[in-house]
């Protein structure tokens, strides 16, 4: 009896990870009814992470009233899995750029306070492991807002507490963590981070990402100076020296703060997903693993979901086939180790047609049937 695992990312604009997996399973079953199919819903740690992990694990989505980046009350959500022991949080749900209009973008004023409120809510419900995606932020506060919501206090030279937005970075003189809940210290935190930027400098959070959050050249310089000062204060507070670690500059310095003040571990988004899904156990004994995403090209191998799936399967000697809505072959892909890379749609089909959900689903089914015939029946 053949066994296959399907672990594809969403085909953005067309199908969710779950829809890809379901359509693929239908296609395989149409050719090989006895085939055992295991479905793993994956994402790269960004949008769709909560949905994928909750759907795969039978968890639940929790709504919480929190602050948006400008401290207005909104309803955000996160996931609880492992019988509530693990919370899955996308910081963008509370503190993302999509919460603001273009005119409202201002990284001097925006705060990650709402993300801290989501974490606090999860801790109150008993979660002691946090899986956090930090893509899509509207902020450059180095996570000060988040930490304030978790009991930290940031004080200026007069002992006055700061609000914790971007413009406060350069005003901090000391950190008071006496009010931090003990539960937070007992919590394991994994942060999905696929960027390599340090906290500050020409490749840091402010210079690379703040302009898209509404910063002009003067604001970028102000924020960068603030991040440097913040790192100095943190180092004096607890000795942490991780400003140059890859990923410290993610989400306006949130990556740095997770490491320096919360003891978190930064990992590739797909690695966090696969670990949570116990992927190594799922694929053990499989004959084939199939992965994919909407577009497969040279960027696919740079930490995206298919590359993580490929690496995990190769460690167990399981062949991997990649499918994509579109495929742009290159030498890197040819040499990557995929057994095959297959586009699901004919290049002659107009893009707007190929991206329709019904068309994409049917193309996944047809591609799955083709793979089943070629890779399974040929070995019978």
Predicted local distance difference test score (pLDDT) of residue 378: 59
Predicted local distance difference test score (pLDDT) of residue 51: 87
| Dihedral pair phi/psi, residue 169, rounded to 5° | -55, -40
Predicted local distance difference test score (pLDDT) of residue 377: 63
Predicted local distance difference test score (pLDDT) of residue 176: 97
> Computed over its alpha carbons, how large is the radius of gyration of the chain?
22
Predicted local distance difference test score (pLDDT) of residue 358: 93
Q: What is the pLDDT of residues 219-232, one digit of tens each?
A: 999 999 999 999 99
CB atoms within 10 A of CB 178: 7
Predicted local distance difference test score (pLDDT) of residue 370: 94
**Residues 6 or more apart in contact with residue 108 via CB below 8 angstroms:** 140, 165, 166, 167, 215, 219, 222, 223
Q: Which of 101, 113, 124, 121 is CA-nearest to residue 152?
A: 113
Using alpha carbons, list the distances in angstroms from residue 36 to 4, 159, 282, 293, 314: 6, 63, 12, 22, 20
- For residues 328-354, give the mean pLDDT: 90
287 touches 4 (CB < 8 A): yes
Q: What is the pLDDT of residues 131-150, one digit of tens each?
A: 999 989 999 999 999 999 99
Comparing 45-59, 79-93, 243-257, the range with the smallest average pLDDT is 45-59
Average pLDDT of the chain, as a whole number: 94
SS (H, E, C) 4-60: EEEEECCECCCECHHHHHHHHHHHHHHHCCCCEEEECCCCCCCCCHHHHHHHHHCCE
Q: In whole angstroms, what is the distance from residue 252 CA to residue 206 CA? A: 7
> Does position 380 have pLDDT exceeding 70, yes or no?
no
Q: In whole angstroms, what is the distance from residue 380 CA to residue 365 CA? A: 21
In three-state secondary structure terms, 333 is: helix
Q: What is the pLDDT of residues 79-98, one digit of tens each?
A: 999 999 999 999 999 999 99
How is residue 161 annotated by DSSP? B
- For residues 334-361, give the mean pLDDT: 90
> Does position 349 have pLDDT exceeding 80, yes or no?
yes
Q: What is the pLDDT of residues 306-324, one digit of tens each?
A: 999 999 999 999 999 999 9
Predicted local distance difference test score (pLDDT) of residue 13: 84
- Locate CATH 3.90.1510.10 in the chain: 49-270
Q: Which CATH class is domain 3-41+279-379?
A: alpha beta
- For residues 3-14, give the mean pLDDT: 92
Architecture of domain 49-270: Alpha-Beta Complex (3.90)
- Locate CATH 3.40.50.10350 in the chain: 3-41+279-379
Predicted local distance difference test score (pLDDT) of residue 55: 86
Predicted local distance difference test score (pLDDT) of residue 194: 85
> Does position 44 have pLDDT exceeding 80, yes or no?
no
């Amino acid at each position: 009896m053949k066994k296959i695992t399907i672990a594809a990312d969403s085909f953005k604009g067309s199908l969710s990870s779950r829809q890809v997996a379901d359509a693929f399973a239908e296609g395989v079953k149409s050719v090989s009814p006895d085939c055992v199919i295991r479905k793993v819903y994956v994402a790269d740690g960004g949008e769709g992470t909560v949905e994928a992990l909750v759907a795969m694990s039978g968890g639940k989505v929790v709504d919480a009233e929190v602050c948006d980046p400008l401290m207005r009350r909104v309803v955000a959500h996160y996931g609880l899995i492992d019988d509530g022991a693990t919370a899955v949080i996308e910081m963008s749900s509370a503190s993302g750029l999509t919460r603001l209009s273009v005119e409202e973008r201002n990284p001097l004023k925006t705060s990650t306070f709402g993300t801290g409120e989501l974490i606090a809510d999860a801790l109150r419900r008993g979660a002691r492991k946090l899986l956090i995606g930090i893509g899509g932020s509207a902020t450059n506060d180095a996570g000060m807002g988040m930490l304030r919501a978790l009991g930290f206090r940031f004080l200026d030279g007069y002992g006055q507490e700061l609000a914790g937005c971007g413009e406060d970075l350069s005003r901090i003189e000391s950190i008071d963590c006496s009010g931090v809940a003990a539960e937070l210290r007992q919590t394991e935190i994994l942060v999905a981070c696929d960027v390599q930027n340090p906290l500050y400098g020409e490749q840091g959070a402010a210079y690379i990402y703040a302009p898209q959050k509404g910063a002009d050249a003067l604001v970028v310089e102000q924020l960068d100076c603030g991040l440097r000062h913040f790192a100095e204060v943190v180092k004096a507070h607890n000795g942490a020296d991780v400003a140059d670690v890859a990923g410290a500059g993610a989400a306006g310095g949130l990556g740095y703060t997770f490491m320096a003040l919360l003891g978190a571990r930064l990992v590739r988004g797909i690695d966090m997903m696969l670990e949570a899904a116990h992927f190594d156990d799922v694929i053990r004994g499989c004959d084939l693993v199939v992965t994919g995403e909407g577009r497969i090209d040279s960027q696919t191998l740079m930490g995206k979901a298919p590359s993580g799936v490929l690496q995990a399967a190769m460690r167990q000697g399981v062949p991997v086939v990649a499918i994509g809505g579109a495929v742009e072959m290159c030498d890197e892909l040819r040499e990557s180790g995929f057994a095959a890379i297959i586009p699901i749609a004919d290049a002659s089909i107009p893009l707007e047609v190929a991206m329709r959900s019904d068309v994409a689903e049917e193309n996944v089914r047809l591609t799955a049937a083709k793979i089943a015939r070629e890779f399974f029946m040929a070995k019978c």
